[in-house]
Amino acid sequence: MGSLQTNETSLAQNNTFNSDPNSLVPAFHAALITLILVVVVVGNVVVLLVIYRQRNRASVRVANMFIANLAVVDLSIGLLLFPFSVITILLHRWTFGDAICQFNGTINVIAGAASILTMAVISIDR
């Protein structure tokens, strides 16, 4: 068992992007993802507010429902997935356990599929 554990540890160390914890590269990546997170949240909240203010216009009601769905999906990606990514990049490892890993993967797949399907329906509607 000791050899298997040593090999797994060695493999994990070799698979890290930059094994030097004092490197600025992980901090830069985390800052970039945090900036993207802020833009995603602010942008999608603004889109939802605009759609809410136009809710009485019958001419754009269906199209706005699709766009609102896309905004909610993107917002869920930003709020449910990005924070885990930032912390994982900064710590150089996954620290949240198997259940959160499964949750993260499930939300990633569901949100990705919902986003793609919503864009497909928007293109058919147009």
Per-residue model confidence as pLDDT tens digits over 49-76:
999 988 777 767 788 899 999 999 999 9
Higher pLDDT, 30 or 9: 30
Domain boundaries defined on the chain: 24-125
Which long-range CB contacts under 8 A does 10-18 form with residues at least 24 apart? Answer: 12/93, 16/92
Separation CA 50–CA 48 (nearest Å)? 5
Banded model confidence at residue 98, pLDDT cuts 50, 70, 90: very high
Q: Examine the pLDDT at 83 and tell me if it is beyond 80.
A: yes
**pLDDT (0 to 100) of residue 2:** 52
Give the count of beta carbons closer than 10 Å to the beta carbon of residue 108.
14
Architecture of the structural domain at 24-125: Up-down Bundle (1.20)
